[in-house]
Every structure is written in C-alpha cells, then in structure tokens.
Amino acid sequence: MIEIDGEIHTQQKEYDFNRDIVLNRLGLKVLRIKNQDLDDIDAVQQKILEAIF
C-alpha cells in the first residue's frame, strides 16, 4: 500500500503508527511517501521498485 503523506501526518504520527501495525497484521506493507518527495518522481519510482523487489 502506498500512502502519500501531507502535512497532517506530522500531527498524527501515533495514529499512523497504530494504523500501520493493523495493516501489517493484515499482510499489507505500507510505503509512505511525503508530498515534497513527489518533486523527484524518479526517486519515488525507485523507492517503490525497491519496496516491491
């Protein structure tokens, strides 16, 4: 699962952490990408590929 994290995520770190635990228990891996990282789409694509393989 890929999640694009905006500014709100700096205020809800505990919620995100607990949500990731639940998702992991369901067999899902969470890949978080910050909004500002989208400025370098090649790096984002590389991060996704590394997470897959």
Q: Domain span at residue 25? A: 2-52
State the pTM of this model. Answer: 0.75
What's the domain count of the chain? Answer: 1
Task: Please provide the DSSP assignment of 17-47 as one string.
Answer: HHHHHHHHHTTPPPEEEEGGGGGSHHHHHHH
Q: What is the pLDDT of residue 47?
A: 96
Over residues 33-45, the pLDDT tens digits come to 999 999 999 999 9
User: Which pLDDT belongs to residue 49?
Assistant: 96
User: What pLDDT was estimated at residue 50?
Assistant: 95
User: What digits encode the pLDDT tens for the residues 3-46?
Assistant: 998 877 778 889 999 999 999 999 999 999 999 999 999 999 99
